[in-house]
């Protein structure tokens, strides 16, 4: 029975091919645009949150109560092994890393700059944010540019690389991959060895008892520091004691978040506590999760496990409210645009089905006169319209898939002033599209709902059909 209705509906929609094509294509167009827009937006949001959460903050942090509001030396706490074990034993917690964070003036030679001083446990930090993978091993600077040029590396290629803003590389593969994109594969293969030789910098990661520092790539550029040079830190320590120290630079790390990259100095946590005269004290414990979706639940578990009012447990959403709100407000404006599109498509579909029912009044009259029940007739028409929308939605998805996939794999790399702007907001200047199923469902669902509303009226018309009149019309 069902099958017959379906076949009837299918044949009906192909009776007027042009109308089917037009209606389906207007739905397809809406879905296509909605999906591309959504993929772009969600991709940017993910990029924004990743560069904050995964690279540095962690999903949840524990501090002394009120620390986050003030972020001063008055809110330090001591965490013993028991404490760490208790935190680590919570089900969803994958990593626990101690942190000691403060500000200081960092100077080298005549340059001075305010820096974020992060005391870390090198091993744990590495598991948490893969810091050692961010260590830069090949870097194009003025000196290496000259050397490259002397060894026959064409000048145009150097300036092409400079324009692309990709001048630091972490591994040999990284060099190969990025250079191929910038100067083409043939050129890359030809000059790869020279490039490896001339741009290599001896760079290390911190070991557990290290007395050196890792500094951000942009900060290194500003302070004109390279590996092996000495960095001086000056600031205010625990209880107002002045804090000063001299540290050799062990390595340079490229942090995706430009704002951090411009300011960060990593020390081992022991050295950092010594610098600030705060032995065994921490500012924060940073926690990574196995399943990020259960963040709030894990936070509740942490609070009850600590059962003390001396600590505050915060998720990244609470810590970086600005980011969350920026995303939210952008998200709203995007959603408004989407709903405008949906409503317009709704009108389009409404117009089409209205016409269709008007045109086929006689046919409907004949069917009813021949004994087809109205509800069955309505059912067939309903299936027709559903089929029509499915065709449109599917076509839209199929059309958008390759585009989204392409930009998900090859994010748009921004250059020039647009990139500067993104960096100013602390976001990596690349625009990867999001590649996940949920928004495909959401978009298709929304369009489908709009279409359902649009077809309610013509269906009602069928039920109010006056057989005699329509037969004569």
Binding residues vs other proteins (CB under 8 A)? 18-19, 22-23, 25-26, 29-30, 33, 70-74, 103, 105, 110-114, 222, 234-236, 240, 321-322, 324-329, 332-333, 336-337, 340-341, 343-345, 347-348, 350-352, 354-355, 358-359, 417-418, 420-421, 424-425
The runs of H, that is alpha helices, within 53-78 are: 67-70
Q: Which class for 95: exposed (0-12), middle (13-18), buried (19 or more C-beta within 10 A)?
A: middle
Question: Which residue lies nearer to other proteins by CB, 92 or 352?
Answer: 352
Shortest Å distance, C-beta 22 to other proteins: 5
Question: Which residue lies nearer to other proteins by CB, 103 or 439?
Answer: 103
Question: Which residue lies nearer to other proteins by CB, 335 or 408?
Answer: 335
Place of tokens 């290629």: 157
- Give the C-alpha distances (Å, rounded to integers) separating 318 from 194, 288, 301, 315: 48, 15, 17, 5
* Separation CA 356–CA 458 (nearest Å): 9
Shortest Å distance, C-beta 340 to other proteins: 4
- The token pair at 392 is 């449109």
Cβ neighbours of 333 (radius 10 Å): 10
Shortest Å distance, C-beta 105 to other proteins: 5
* Separation CA 338–CA 331 (nearest Å): 10
Question: Which residue lies nearer to other proteins by CB, 79 or 427?
Answer: 427
Question: Which residue lies nearer to other proteins by CB, 102 or 288?
Answer: 102
DSSP code of residue 295: H
- The token pair at 243 is 């804090």
Shortest Å distance, C-beta 227 to other proteins: 21
Question: Which residue lies nearer to other proteins by CB, 194 or 343?
Answer: 343
CB 113 within 8 A of CB 218: no
Shortest Å distance, C-beta 430 to other proteins: 17
Cβ neighbours of 270 (radius 10 Å): 17
CB 79 within 8 A of CB 285: yes
Shortest Å distance, C-beta 328 to other proteins: 6
């Amino acid at each position: 029975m069902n099958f017959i209705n379906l076949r009837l509906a299918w044949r009906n929609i192909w009776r007027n091919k042009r109308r089917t094509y037009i209606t389906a294509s207007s739905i397809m167009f809406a879905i296509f645009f909605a999906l591309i827009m959504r993929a772009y937006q969600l991709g940017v949001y993910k990029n924004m949150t990743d560069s904050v959460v995964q690279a540095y903050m962690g999903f949840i942090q524990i501090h002394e109560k009120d620390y986050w509001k003030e972020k001063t030396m008055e809110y330090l706490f001591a965490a013993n092994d028991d404490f760490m074990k208790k935190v680590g034993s919570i089900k969803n917690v994958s990593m626990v890393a101690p942190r000691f964070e403060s500000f200081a003036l960092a100077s080298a030679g005549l340059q001075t700059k305010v820096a974020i001083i992060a005391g870390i446990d090198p091993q744990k930090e590495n598991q948490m944010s893969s810091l050692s993978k961010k260590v830069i091993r090949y870097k194009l600077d003025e000196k290496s540019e000259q050397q490259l040029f002397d060894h026959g590396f064409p000048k145009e290629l150097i300036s092409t690389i400079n324009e692309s803003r990709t001048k630091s590389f972490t591994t040999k593969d990284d060099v190969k991959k990025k250079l191929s994109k910038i100067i083409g594969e043939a050129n890359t293969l030809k000059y790869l060895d020279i490039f490896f030789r001339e741009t290599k910098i001896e760079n290390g990661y911190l070991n557990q008892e290290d007395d050196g520092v890792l500094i951000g790539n942009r900060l290194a550029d500003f302070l004109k520091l390279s590996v092996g040079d000495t960095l001086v830190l000056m600031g205010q320590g625990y209880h107002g004691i002045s804090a000063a120290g001299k540290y050799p630079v062990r390595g340079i790390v490229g942090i995706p978040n430009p704002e951090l990259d411009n300011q960060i100095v990593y020390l081992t946590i022991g050295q950092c506590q010594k610098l600030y005269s705060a032995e065994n004290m921490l500012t924060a414990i940073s926690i990574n999760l196995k399943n990020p979706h259960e963040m709030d639940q894990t936070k509740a578990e942490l609070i009850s496990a600590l059962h003390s009012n001396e600590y505050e447990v915060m998720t990244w959403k609470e810590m970086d409210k600005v980011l969350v709100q920026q995303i939210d407000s952008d998200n709203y404006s995007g959603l408004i645009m989407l709903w405008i599109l949906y409503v317009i498509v709704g009108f389009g579909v409404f117009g089409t089905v209205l016409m269709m029912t008007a045109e086929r009044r006689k046919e409907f009259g004949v069917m009813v006169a021949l004994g087809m029940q109205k509800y069955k007739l309505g059912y067939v028409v309903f299936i027709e319209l559903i089929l029509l929308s499915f065709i449109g939605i599917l076509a839209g998805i199929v059309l958008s898939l390759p585009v989204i996939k392409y930009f998900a794999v090859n994010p748009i790399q921004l250059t020039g002033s647009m990139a500067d702007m993104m960096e100013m907001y602390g976001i990596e200047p690349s625009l990867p599209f999001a590649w996940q199923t949920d928004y495909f469902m959401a978009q298709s669902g929304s369009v489908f709902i709009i279409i359902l509303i649009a077809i309610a009226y013509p269906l009602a018309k069928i039920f109010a059909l006056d057989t005699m009149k329509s037969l004569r019309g």
